[in-house]
Structure 1
Amino acid sequence: MSNKILIIADHLDGSLNESTARAVACAQQMSPTGIDVLVLAEDGASVAAEAAQIEGVSRVLQADNAANAHPMAALLTPQIVAAAQQGEYSHVLGPNTTFGKDLMPRVAAKLGVAMVTDIMSVHSAHEFDRPIYAGNAVITVAAPTDQVLVASVRCASYPAAPGGNSAEIETLSLDAELPGHTRFVNLEQASSDRPDLQTAPKVISGGRGVGSEENFKVIYDLADKIGAAVGASRAAVDAGYVPNDMQVGQTGKIISPELYMCFGISGAIQHLAGIKDAQTIVAINKDEEAPIFEVADIGLVGDLFKIIPELEEKIG
């Protein structure tokens, strides 16, 4: 079976998520005979145009359907399965983002195969490394070569494939029966002018040590001064300081910024699993025994409410 790879585009509001280019970077290491990107949308012209620019992409398949106006995994899955079978793909990949975590297991189930989650390194087209035990160990898995491989890509492990390409865009007609048991009601999400947490080069996070929702303002203010995204530990989310879409860690967002600064975060294993790919980790905590200091490149023992104003003064 040739290594013909289909990647599912992750997009929102007419813009392609960088996670798609990161999945392409992973696919390029699988010795592919071709890499196609499938864009499922109501009108995917702008998204398809972005996908066509990603280096390494052979074709972009644009499948427009009014049912895709509000993408839901239950409705996208039958279309992806139809596309995978129609194109006789050996691999179907998606990013291990919130979008991909919801979608790809359904695709695997509908194709009747097991899936490989969270690919962080490629040995061959069917052999990969993936993290286990909250990122404390890495396991090598070998997938069967006689069936379609469905997998999700750990985006933090791959740089985005560069632009500059001009891949062909084809309109794809899919014969797929869509289920009627799932319908879109409405979307509630936090709006912010700050960078996207999963792709931002700088991230500042707060933990339980911040103390309250009101106190989190000091985290936001510092982040805005340096143009950083804002994250939080699960403890801060569970305490109601911030919404859960800001959670960084094994059960939240896995990130790989150039700079990660965390205030009042002790460093539970689950949180460390989400930041281990950060290039520079700066930790500020009152407890000098906090586990976060074991992984931090720079650690400072002290009161965050005294240190943050001093940092802001230095920044100017």
Structure 2
Amino acid sequence: MAEYKDILVCGELADGKLAPITAELLGCGRKLADDLKEGLFCLLASDAVGAASKEAIAFGADKVYVVEHAALKEYQADCYIQVAESLVKELSPRVVLMGQTSMGRDLAPRLAFRLGTSLTTDCLDLSIDTETKLLTQTRPVYGGNAQAIFVSELMPLMVTVRSKAMSPLERDDSRKGEVIPTKVDIDTSKVRTKILETVKEEAVGIKLEDAPVIVCGGRGLGGPEPFQTTLKELADLLHGAVGASRPPADNGWVSEALHIGLTGKIVAPDIYIAIALSGASQHTAGCTGSKHIIAINKDPEANIFREAEFGVVGKYEEVVPALTGKLKELLAG
């Protein structure tokens, strides 16, 4: 029977660099590994990993396993699963961490099934029980209206972590670690899909995921115009970004790239201003990581007020321009 120890992060790359979610996972994994007095390893797979392996060490990894293959240029589940399964079976890690990203949501359940183990998705917090050495996992349930704690004795334990739920360590380029080139024989005949085209999201201004302030509008705005004027003016003033709940995106008022929610972007800004949106659980699941939520809605019974730290009951047409005007005065003074 294998002895399970150490933490393994299945990392992701973005434009040839370590993806932010991977730095967050390494920060979380470093704490877990230190509590267990074990190692933190990172898997990076691509056609060319390059300097990202050193980045992973700078963000906390003890060892980085680098798998390079032409078939790994873009994420394909049938290729990546072969790499991940091979390394997990070789290392027998106690815990395998992935991001709750499009890749993680696809790869983690496949890998858990192949390994015959459990998977906890969309975790907001992870900690080690020092007595049992088991991982305690906290994740949202009931559409984000509550949180549940899970513990499993199955190993290796598979976990996906929500973006922005964990904080990366401060980058330390002087940190020592080991980069291990790893060969995996990938059977490309098992690839059942073909990528025909990759369409990159056109970023205009600050990306939602990086914005310190988000001004988010809902169905109550009535159309596209307020997003382009009223909300944009406030967002620009606060050096933030404009977002939307699902109905405006579905109605074509805004780009799908601005959709925040369970099936859209997951964000965690310092300030989240929710305007004319009801606060359905599918939406609030995408912004519960915000440090401060401010709600503006004419309906005093709107669910969003339950999530908000501050709330204003009133028509957005009156409240938002008044707020913007006052902020301009304060900033000018």
TM-score (normalised: structure 2): 0.85
The residue type equivalent to 2:158 in the other structure is V
User: Which one of the candidate residues 275, 284, 289 is aligned to 1:263?
Assistant: 275
1:177 paired residue number = 187
Residue 118 of structure 2 is aligned to residue 114 of structure 1: yes
C-alpha deviations, 1:34-62, integer Å up to 9, x for none? Answer: 111111111111322322210x3111222
Note the 1:41-190 alignment, pairs <5 A. 41-54=46-59, 56-124=60-128, 125-145=134-154, 147-164=155-172, 165-178=175-188, 179-190=190-201
In the alignment, structure 1 segments of 5+ residues that lack a partner are: none
Task: Quote the Cα distance in structure 2 between the aligned partners of 1:126 and 1:118.
Answer: 15
1:150 to partner: Cα distance: 1.4
TM-score (normalised: structure 1): 0.90
Task: Work out whether residues 21 and 162 of structure 1, in 8 Å CA contact, stay in contact via their aligned partners in 2.
Answer: no
1:292 paired residue number = 304
User: Which one of the candidate residues 226, 231, 241 is aligned to 2:238?
Assistant: 226
Task: Work out whether residues 28 and 168 of structure 2, in 8 Å CA contact, stay in contact via their aligned partners in 1.
Answer: no
Task: Work out whether residues 5 and 92 of structure 2, in 8 Å CA contact, stay in contact via their aligned partners in 1.
Answer: no
Task: Quote the Cα distance in structure 2 between the aligned partners of 1:102 and 1:231.
Answer: 25
Q: How many pairs does the alignment contain? A: 314
1:194/1:46 CA distance change after superposition, 3 Å: farther
Task: Work out whether residues 137 and 149 of structure 2, in 8 Å CA contact, stay in contact via their aligned partners in 1.
Answer: yes
1:205 paired residue number = 216
CA RMSD of aligned residues (A): 2.2
Stretch of structure 1 that moved more, 106-115 or 259-268: 106-115
1:209 to partner: Cα distance: 1.6
C-alpha deviations, 1:111-148, integer Å up to 9, x for none? Answer: 23231112223342333222211122222222224x32
Task: Quote the Cα distance in structure 1 between the aligned partners of 2:200 and 2:232.
Answer: 18
Q: Percent identity?
A: 30
What secondary structure is seen at the aligned counterpart in 2 of 1:261?
strand
1:234 to partner: Cα distance: 1.5
Task: Work out whether residues 194 and 227 of structure 1, in 8 Å CA contact, stay in contact via their aligned partners in 2.
Answer: no
In the alignment, structure 2 segments of 5+ residues that lack a partner are: 129-133, 329-333
1:166 to partner: Cα distance: 4.2
Stretch of structure 1 that moved more, 305-314 or 247-256: 305-314
Larger radius of gyration: 2
User: Which one of the candidate residues 29, 32, 39 is aligned to 1:29?
Assistant: 32
User: Which one of the candidate residues 252, 263, 269 is aligned to 2:264?
Assistant: 252
C-alpha deviations, 1:209-252, integer Å up to 9, x for none? Answer: 22223432123343233222332112222222223333222333
Stretch of structure 1 that moved more, 300-309 or 40-49: 300-309
Task: Quote the Cα distance in structure 2 between the aligned partners of 1:106 and 1:243.
Answer: 31
Task: Work out whether residues 23 and 155 of structure 1, in 8 Å CA contact, stay in contact via their aligned partners in 2.
Answer: no
